[in-house]
Amino acid sequence: MQQGKDPKKRFLKISIIPALIIFLLLAAGALGADGRESAKYIFLFIGDGMGEAQVRTAELYRIGSGAGEPALSTFPVRGSISTHSADAAVTDSAAAGTAMASGYKTNNGVLGMDPSRTKNLTSIAETARDRGMKVGIVTSSFLNDATPAAFYAHRPSRIDYYEIGEQLIDSGFDYFAGGGHLPEQRAQGKSQGSLRTRRKKGDTGCSAPGPGYLPRPARGKKIIAAVCARGHLPYEMDRTAGSPSLAELTKLGIGLLDNPDGFFLIVEGGKMDWACHLNDAAAMVHDMVAFDAAAREALSFAQRHPKETLLVVLADHETGGMSIEEGITAAQLFPVLSAQKESSESFTVKVDRFRKGQQRTFEGMLPLITDSFGLHSLSESELVELRTAFAQSMLPKEQRKRDREYLRRYGPYEPLSVTATRILNRKAGITWSSFGHSGADVPVFAHGAGSAIFAGEYDNTDIARKLMSLLHFP
C-alpha cells in the first residue's frame, strides 16, 4: 500500500505543514496583531569603531583569559553593513548614527538632518517613543556625542553640544546614562547647559549607580540623566571601584524601562573608538569586554522574554584600520595585551608630568614604560623608535615640528604613548594603518525575535528600516 494515498495521512501532512510554519514563526519571534513579526523589547548595541578585527581581537583576548567566547560571538544571526556617508567614503559617527537611526544617509558632521541641513529625519527611537514604548540611551562616551545624539537630536553640526543637550531634555526619552558635560560648553560660557542643569538635581558625579548617583532612580519618572562630571566614563582598564560599568548602567536601564508596552534601549560602547584612534588595542579590548558584559545583561533579560526580545549588536564604522596577523592565537595575544596596565590616555598624563620634571632622560622614563606596558624585552630598533618618540614628547607641544613624517608616525597624539602601544600591539600580532576611521564594512550580530532579517550584506540605512519593520505596536 502506498502511504501517500492514505487520506488520513495526507490530511495529517497537509495540516502539519502550516502548523509547523506557524510554530517556527512563533519560535523565531512574536507575531504582532496583524500577523507580522515584531519585537516588544529591542536592544540596539553600538560598538563605536568596532570592525571585524576588533571583534576578533576581543574573542582571542577573552578566550586567552579563560573567560570563553564573548556573548556576541554566540549570536545565531550574522550580517555586515556598508558604512559610507552621503558625502564621503569614510563616515563619521554623526552620519553613521543618523543613517542607522533614520534610514537616510547624510553628510559627515550632520546630526539627524538631511544633507541640505534643512529637513529633520525621524529616528527609530522617536518612533518607538511615539508608539508608547519607553526609550533609553546608555553610553560610555558623553550623551551629547554624535552616536547617542543621532537618536534624539537634529542639528546641522554635531558640535552644537549645547543645543544637542537641550534636545536631549526635550526628547521625552525615559532613561539616559553616560557622560554629559563638555569642556566646549564651558569655553562658550554656557556652563548652565541643559545637562548640567539636570546634574544639579542630585547627581554627585561619576559614582556607582544607586541613591546619590541618579536623581531618584524611580520607575515611571521621565528623563533620568545619569551623567558623569568628567564628561565621559573612564576607559574600562582605568576604571576604579567608584565608577559605574556599562553593564551596571544597562542593568539599571532595563529595570527602569521594563513595562508592558515595551522598550527600546540603545547602548553605546563609545570609547572603543577613542582607543582605536589612539591605536591602543588593550584599552579597546577592555572596553569591548565591558561592552560584551552589558550585552549579557540584555541577554539575561531576553531569556525571561525570549519571544518578544530582539538584540542587535553592530558598529557604526571601523576605526584605525586595525588588522590581526594571520594565525595569531589566543595564547599568543592574551599575555601581551594583558601586560598593559593602563590606557594610553592615562600613560600620557605621566608623560606630561615627566616633561615638566627636572630629570628628562630616556633612561629615567624607561622604567615607567616597562611598568605601564610590560615591555620587558625590547629590540634595538624598538628602542630607537621609543627614543625618537621620547625626544618629541619632551618638547613643549608648540615646539614640535608636525611635518608629514611626524603625523604619519604619531597623528595628533602623544608620540611616546602611541609608539609604546604600537610596539606592544605588534608583539600581539596587531597592526594599525591609521589614526582615523576606515571605510570598511562592519559586522552585525542579532539574537531573538525577528533577528533573521539581520542576516546578509546590506547598508547601514537598512538597520533603521529593519528595526522599523519589527517595531511593536502596543
Select the residue whose beta carbon is closest to Zn ion and give its number. Answer: 273
Give me the least distance between CB of 48 and Zn ion, in Å please: 7
Q: Given the rule CB under 5 A, which of 71-79, 112-120, 266-274, 382-390 is the region that contacts Zn ion?
A: 266-274
Q: Which is nearer to Zn ion, 273 or 462 (CB)?
A: 273
In the bound complex, what is the minimum distance in angstroms from residue 109's beta carbon to Zn ion? 12
Stretch that binds Zn ion, among 23-31, 96-104, 272-280, 458-466 (CB under 5 A): 272-280
Q: Is 273 in the site for Zn ion (CB under 5 A)?
A: yes
174 forms part of the interface with Zn ion (CB under 5 A): no
Taking contact as CB under 5 A, which single stretch among the options 159-167, 174-182, 273-281, 356-364 is the one that binds Zn ion?
Answer: 273-281
For residue 314, the minimal CB distance to Zn ion (Å) is: 15
CB of 116 to Zn ion, least distance (A): 25
* Residue 273 or 308 with smaller CB distance to Zn ion: 273
Give least dist CB 438 to Zn ion, A.
11
Q: Which of these segments, 267-275, 278-286, 336-344, 454-462, binds Zn ion (CB under 5 A)?
A: 267-275
The yes or no reply on residue 287 touching Zn ion (CB under 5 A) is no
Smallest gap from Cβ 416 to Zn ion, in A, equals 22
CB of 315 to Zn ion, least distance (A): 11
Number of residues located near Zn ion, criterion CB under 5 A: 1
Residue number with CB closer to Zn ion (42 or 272): 272
268 touching Zn ion, by CB under 5 A: no
Select 232 or 472, whichever has its Cβ closest to Zn ion: 232
| Position 280 contacts Zn ion (CB under 5 A) | no
Name which of 273 and 441 has its Cβ closer to Zn ion.
Answer: 273
Cβ 41 vs Cβ 294: under 8 Å? no
Binding region for Zn ion (CB under 5 A): 273
